[in-house]
Structure 1
């Protein structure tokens, strides 16, 4: 929801002292960004916006709350006619996403539909996101999960099952696994999907010793992306902490000591204190 701030209401909201100090600064490069405004005040990069009806700032001064630099940028933004969008959370909009959103808003509806359809034909990620958003695609079917499982089985065979293979084959297999999991992450998550992401973790773990020993192979970017999607799918599953703890405890013995998955620390917010305790109880059995 667009919020039209005015100088008087802003100054009343932040208090006389902060308002006076903000007026003393002369911010520069103030522009609309991410539903709010960004600029430079006192040599600090600042973003200011409205979250849950309150003015907040993100500033290089590392203040935990609205700071004088944020007030200065807000005042300059108001004078420049910037309209703020009230946001439900303190997550700053991605500038690139906002850029494309602004561009899409300038298109005729029919033109936008044709553009999306044309690109969705060649972009599986766009096509999946589109169909999910339209309510035409739900959780993966048994046939779909079986196909991904078959891919994981074939990937696991690479280091020992094929007579001739190269390091590039392992990295390509990792990228293929990641691509499929990223698509699954766009859809409702069921137990079959969690089984697949756990199996992918096992397969990638089985590659790592070989990849780490090679001087010309860098698995880190794939490891980081697989770890991120693993957490994301666990989060989307909305399973109870006890069930998540059980899954992680069953997975842990199949991971290397220096695993690319940070178990259970990366899942602590999902598990909670009791879930973490349950994990360790199960892991030590």
Structure 2
């Protein structure tokens, strides 16, 4: 149930010092995109060279905040106040019984153990560790840049890398001396590269490339099926992440169900090895699921 908030009373309750810092953050456009979370709202806030992610919401009838800066509860920090004011201006509806993100999901033991380790590191140690890992792991590097807001949709380097993987996969059996291991290697590279591609901003060109990858893998998977007695990879191990990426891109690009159905029908007409599971798109298609060719369900 949404709750109406007296914005003027909220403003009057803010301590002067906190209000001045919050006003500066708003003037500098330091509050990032608002995200609904646990009945409240959160956003990335850049305060000089430091990044925080405050959450604000109504807990037990009290407007409450929780921020990386260490301030939680009724006494909101400036980052929480700036986020709240941004949410009020945007007309965000707050639940009357919100749950802070940290309380929503029990922390797994391993995760808690790593969090404890992180808390023992100085900012410089943590930064060096993260940067070093990013230099060795392209997926982690892409996720890091995405979280930092440093990926530009206009940057086509991710498309080039994935396009190269698709082209190489399409040539996996071109050599007369190819082996089934070549098909498996090409498939695993596609599965890895599609994760990196989808960690970047969603653009239509990426969706087109993933559809090309689906068709390439569908053809290659036939060789795995024929060589099931020696193959070490199931076709679904590669198909699942690629098709999942396609489905997620359709959702992130907010495609109309008619267009999704059209794209699926075009894929299904060219796939001969059951690579695409139409049921994965059920929530996106809705009533338009009937537009999928009946042959796709067999």
**Superposition TM-score tier, normalisation by shorter sequence:** 0.5 to 0.7
| Structure 2 CA distance for partners of 1:201 and 1:140, relative to 1, 3 Å | farther
CA contact (8 A) 1:140 1:187 kept: no
1:244 counterpart = 2:260: yes
Partner of 1:260: 275
1:196 corresponds, among 203, 206, 209, to 209
| Structure 2 CA distance for partners of 1:153 and 1:131, relative to 1, 3 Å | same
CA contact (8 A) 2:214 2:239 kept: no
2:124 corresponds, among 85, 101, 110, to 110
CA contact (8 A) 2:191 2:238 kept: yes
Partner of 2:178: 165
1:138 corresponds, among 152, 156, 160, to 152
Q: Return the alpha-carbon distance in structure 1 between the equivalents of residues 106 and 290 of structure 2.
A: 34
Partner of 1:230: 246
2:252 is paired with a residue whose SS is helix
Report the CA distance between 1:277 and its aligned residue.
2.8
Q: Return the alpha-carbon distance in structure 2 between the equivalents of residues 105 and 167 of structure 1.
A: 47
1:221 counterpart = 2:221: no
Q: 1:24-43 alignment to 2 at 5 Å?
A: none
| Structure 2 CA distance for partners of 1:221 and 1:144, relative to 1, 3 Å | closer
Partner of 1:101: 115
Report the CA distance between 1:235 and its aligned residue.
2.7
CA contact (8 A) 1:241 1:270 kept: yes
Q: Return the alpha-carbon distance in structure 1 between the equivalents of residues 146 and 129 of structure 2.
A: 18
1:154 counterpart = 2:168: yes
Quick check: 147-156 or 205-214, which moved more? 147-156
Partner of 2:224: 211
Q: Gapped runs of 5+ residues in structure 1? A: 1-51, 55-84
Size of the aligned set, in residue pairs, is 198
Encode CA deviations 1:34-81: one digit per residue, 9 max, x unaligned: xxxxxxxxxxxxxxxxxx969xxxxxxxxxxxxxxxxxxxxxxxxxxx
| Structure 2 CA distance for partners of 1:259 and 1:110, relative to 1, 3 Å | same
Quick check: 237-246 or 192-201, which moved more? 237-246
Report the CA distance between 1:262 and its aligned residue.
0.6
Partner of 2:135: 121
1:187 counterpart = 2:195: no
| Structure 2 CA distance for partners of 1:261 and 1:131, relative to 1, 3 Å | same
Q: TM-score, normalised by structure 1?
A: 0.61
Q: Return the alpha-carbon distance in structure 2 between the equivalents of residues 126 and 255 of structure 1.
A: 32
Report the CA distance between 1:93 and its aligned residue.
5.2
Report the CA distance between 1:151 and its aligned residue.
2.9
Q: Return the alpha-carbon distance in structure 1 between the equivalents of residues 143 and 157 of structure 2.
A: 20
Q: 1:4-19 alignment to 2 at 5 Å?
A: none
CA contact (8 A) 1:104 1:112 kept: yes
CA contact (8 A) 2:159 2:206 kept: yes
Report the CA distance between 1:108 and its aligned residue.
1.7
1:271 corresponds, among 262, 285, 291, to 285
